[in-house]
Structure 1
Amino acid sequence: MSKTSIGRDTRLCMSLAARPGTFGSRFHNHLYEQLGLDYVYKAFTTRDLAAAVAGIRALDIRGCAVSMPYKERVIPMLDGLEPSAAVIESVNTIVNEDGRLTGYNTDYTAVRTLLEGAGLDRAAPFQLRGSGGMAKAVAAALRDAGFAHGAIVARNEDAGRALAEAYGFGWHATPGDAGDAVLLINATPIGMAGGDADALAFSDAAIDAAAAIFDVVALPAETPLLKAARAAGKVTISGTEVAALQALDQFVLYTGVRPSAGQVEAAAKFARG
């Protein structure tokens, strides 16, 4: 089965990000084509978030993925939040039901699934670098997956302390202040294409001391942190893995259709180019 051509009844899905990538567009559009669904997906950025969200409602756009730096800022513009998004106070998915916009957080479920499947020691210490919307989803997933001994590393003391206190973790301003950790997680733009693309979120010494490295940055697929971790023989979890799992949940929310495992694997491979 193949997708029909774009027409007046085609449903539009979209994404909003400061630095739009191609993964979501390629993933969703590939599945629309394979499943013969009359949808199309387009990535956007915006200088006016409120107007962009109003456009979702006004143009009957079915769904919208939300990336940095909009995951928290978008909340007051929505009509309601699904429970996990409300608890985390971070939205990465908007679903439009007849003009009512509801916020979801599929990052949380993706991250928790990957953490629980990685065979990591839940009693070992971790460092989570970041305090924004993605860091909130990761912190919640860590706690709910049974990781109790760790620290939030964030230069913004107010945001860092608030996140740490919400989940029972410690706070430090820099990674060096937090000591060695078995699990290192980057939930900042460090290493992202277009920003601090060549920077490492953690030092070489911290990487050597760790057993596992998790970088939520999905663009590029091979960040400097992941390259260093793999060269050092560490267990790794990548942002592209998060992107595929959370995009699958978005796809189901938007279309009501759940692709097979093989179709998802093929779409993720296609999306990675």
Structure 2
Amino acid sequence: MKPPIGRDTRLCMSLSARPGNFGSRFHNRLYELTGLDYVYKSFSTTDLPAAVQGIRALDIRGCAISMPFKEAVITLLDGLSQSAKAIDSVNTIVNDAGVLTGHNTDYGAVVALVADIDRSMPFMLRGAGGMAKAVAAALSDTGFRNGTIVARGEEAGRVLGNLYGYDWSAEPRTGAALLINATPLGMTGKDALVQAFPGPMIAASQIAFDVVQYPAETLFLRAAAAAGKRCITGAQVATLQALQQFILYTGVEPTEADVRDAELWARANS
């Protein structure tokens, strides 16, 4: 049984421009199931340096980092794990007695989700930010060679493409069997009604992968599902990367049953 919150309770948190409920509820549910004296709370901020200093000053054990802070936070940390250093992007901070280390658990989640996909399949990855870097690195490291980075910012798009030997395009173009959205397009808010890829491209594809977590079924994925395509959701990414964060923060690996319970509970209550 989880102890009541008290002076020895460890605090974990998240920083995002658009905080959601899934992470908080997933972690807190796992704390209950595993009996750990932890609590998790999501926050937003307009002052990233002050927020990171607060993590250090208040001995907050861990912090999830979401858009738009995944790259900007790097200079505020004491070090990076190999996963974060390789792609120059952080989605997780672990605090060890005031020493803040950046990790990237998005990378591992993507590796797991594309494990059974044919490596010869041409792909189109929309985005050039922190999440797109994690996706591109995961695809490259697992053997995908025929890809295009879609980014309106030519410099960022070409830099990411050149890093892994992929092409760059300012706009989506035909010819990709695997379509991946790693931008906020389709997310709740101003981008909710924007579809990441046009209908004809979706119809010609085989697999649609959207990293957007809220909503789990974006316009892009709904169109892909209606066309009979295989869909990989941001909800799946969220669960896998949050599980790795939980393990980093607590040192405890929960059972598959507990993870499934926490995932279902968090979805139902988000």
TM over 0.5: yes
Q: Which residue of 2 aligns with 1:96?
A: 95
Q: Which of 240, 249, 252 in structure 1 is aligned with 2:247?
A: 252
Partner Cα distance (2:134, 2:67) in 1: 13
- SS of equivalent residue, structure 1 residue 14: strand
Q: Which residue of 1 aligns with 2:117?
A: 120
Q: Which of 164, 168, 189 in structure 2 is aligned with 1:167?
A: 164
Task: Give the letter for the 1:145 counterpart.
Answer: T
1:127-171 per-position Cα deviation (integer Å, ceiling 9, x unaligned): 000000000000000111111001000001110000000000000
Partner Cα distance (2:105, 2:190) in 1: 25
- SS of equivalent residue, structure 2 residue 180: strand
- Tell me how far 1:195 sits from its aligned partner: 2.8
- SS of equivalent residue, structure 2 residue 258: helix
1:104-136 per-position Cα deviation (integer Å, ceiling 9, x unaligned): 0000000011000xx322112100000000000
The reply to whether residue 52 of structure 1 matches residue 51 of structure 2 is yes
Partner Cα distance (1:204, 1:269) in 2: 31
The reply to whether residue 198 of structure 1 matches residue 193 of structure 2 is yes
Partner Cα distance (2:236, 2:48) in 1: 27
Q: Which of 184, 193, 199 in structure 2 is aligned with 1:189?
A: 184
Task: Give the letter for the 1:114 counterpart.
Answer: L
Task: Give the letter for the 2:219 counterpart.
Answer: P
Q: Which of 223, 229, 232 in structure 2 is aligned with 1:228?
A: 223
Task: Give the letter for the 2:185 counterpart.
Answer: I
- Please report the TM-score for the alignment, with normalisation by the length of structure 2: 0.98
Q: Which of 152, 162, 165 in structure 2 is aligned with 1:155?
A: 152
Partner Cα distance (2:254, 2:224) in 1: 32
Partner Cα distance (2:122, 2:75) in 1: 35
Partner Cα distance (1:53, 1:25) in 2: 18
The reply to whether residue 145 of structure 1 matches residue 142 of structure 2 is yes
Partner Cα distance (1:213, 1:145) in 2: 18
* Equivalences for residues 39-78 of structure 1 within 5 A: 39-78=38-77
Q: Which residue of 2 aligns with 1:215?
A: 210
Q: Which residue of 2 aligns with 1:133?
A: 130
RMSD value over aligned CA atoms?
A: 0.7
- SS of equivalent residue, structure 1 residue 272: helix
Q: Which of 225, 234, 241 in structure 2 is aligned with 1:239?
A: 234
Percent of residue pairs identical? 64
Q: Residues 218 and 239 of structure 1 are in contact (CA less than 8 Å); yes or no, is this contact kept in structure 2?
A: yes
The reply to whether residue 27 of structure 1 matches residue 54 of structure 2 is no
- Tell me how far 1:77 sits from its aligned partner: 0.1
Q: How many residues align?
A: 268
- SS of equivalent residue, structure 1 residue 175: coil
Could you tell me which runs of 5 or more consecutive residues in structure 2 were left unpaired when the two chains were aligned.
none
1:45-103 per-position Cα deviation (integer Å, ceiling 9, x unaligned): 00100000000000000000000000000000000000110010000000000000000
Partner Cα distance (2:123, 2:15) in 1: 30
Partner Cα distance (2:142, 2:208) in 1: 17
- Please report the TM-score for the alignment, with normalisation by the length of structure 1: 0.97
Q: Which residue of 1 aligns with 2:6?
A: 7
- Tell me how far 1:31 sits from its aligned partner: 0.5
Q: Which stretches of structure 1, 4 residues or more, deviate above 3 A after TM superposition?
A: none
1:180-222 per-position Cα deviation (integer Å, ceiling 9, x unaligned): 2100000000000113101100000000000000000001111
Could you tell me which runs of 5 or more consecutive residues in structure 1 were left unpaired when the two chains were aligned.
none
Q: Residues 114 and 237 of structure 1 are in contact (CA less than 8 Å); yes or no, is this contact kept in structure 2?
A: yes
- SS of equivalent residue, structure 1 residue 243: helix
